[in-house]
Amino acid sequence: MEGIHSSTRSRDLLRKIKEFTLSILEDLSEGRSPLIFIQSFRTYCTNLDSICSCRSNKPSGHEVLTFQKESHVHRIDVLLRVLLIVQQLLQENKHASKRDIYYMHSLLFSDQSVVDRAINDICILLQCSRHNLNVVSVGNGLVMGWLRFFEAGRKFDCINSPNSAHTIPVLVEDVKDLVSAALYILVVEKESVFQRLENDKFCSKNRCIVITGRGYPDVPTRRFLRLLVDKLGLPVYCLVDCDPYGFDILATYRFGSMQMAYDAKFLRVPQIQWLGAFPSDSENYDLPKRCLLPLTIEDKRKTEAMLQRCYLHQEVPDWRSELELMLQRGTKFEIEALSVHSLSFLTEVYIPAQEHRGQKSEKGKAKLSE
């Protein structure tokens, strides 16, 4: 639900907000209980018996909110209050974080998740992306490498110092004049791994761009990565821990999150390839048993649940095989475990070897599609 030009989009959203509130007032004035239809979206299902439509970007159903249901009254109240704040932000051309909005009515909202849900509901009602509401995340991502761009008049020249970290812009739509001499993009799960690459001057030795969301990626990180892939057309790889949470982070980059499924087509990066770490790497790279940790009960439950996701069966069956192997072996390990061989083993041996393997795999797929 990405936007067109911001001023035009803001006027369009203000018109929709006015129409929505007037329709509610009209229903109430005529003694009718307003019905608010919230469409449902999903990034995956667990229906493995037939081809699903999860990748179609179409609604999978809808929910009807009404004042007649006691459980809906508070949700509608929160939605309308947040909508009023959004209207003010658009009218005054100001931005606020989700946390800002929460503290404006913290007693009513009671929890941040209540605000998050209301914002998602509003995006679905108004058919827009969250940043179109002038609601922004606090940027958490980092970038370095062979890249230069301007953001709101500020110059980010990573090319002159490719091993220096820069924060990823919160307002990605303000990124202009994007220039790169990189050969590929590498996304790493954790800041500690990002710092390892920074310390080893990985980007000086490898013409690439490195990004981290520092765990589960926020919206600006995912939007920025999508922008780079769309504008630069570079191969993109993802390096995560060999555990269920690392895999889920990888899946978030490629397929989108269920929470923001309504906007997944603008946030996901279908081109992303899994660089590692794979369960099979423990043997391929001779990791000692002391580096392997047992999967917890929660790890096993999460893995079993992820194995039911439709895209693992329809789009990336090789990912499913690796996940099944993790479950079968009952062990996990962190990327940093590769440092058992040497401090720079990750940057000097593992990543180059995996990236070369990824290139060969893509060439093989290209030949099969010819």
Active site residue 350: no
Q: Which residues share a beta bridge with 40? A: 61
Q: Are 214 and 193 in contact (CB under 8 A)?
A: no
Secondary-structure breakdown of the chain: helix, strand, coil percentages, each rounded to the nearest 5: 55, 15, 30
> Active-site residue among 103, 245, 253, 285?
103
Closest among 83, 138, 87 to 115, alpha carbons compared: 83
Q: Are 126 and 13 in contact (CB under 8 A)?
A: yes
Count of beta carbons in the 10 Å neighbourhood of residue 151: 20
DSSP states along 93-141: T--EEHHHHHHHTHHHH-SHHHHHHHHHHHHHHHT--GGGGTEEPPP--
Q: Burial of 46 by CB count in 10 Å (0-12 exposed, 13-18 middle, 19+ buried)? A: exposed
Crossing angle between the packed helical segments 6-29 and 112-126, to the nearest 10 degrees: 100
Q: Are 194 and 188 in contact (CB under 8 A)?
A: yes
Exposure on the CB side of residue 338, measured as CA atoms within 13 A: 22
Query: Looking at the annotation, which residues are catalytic?
Result: 103
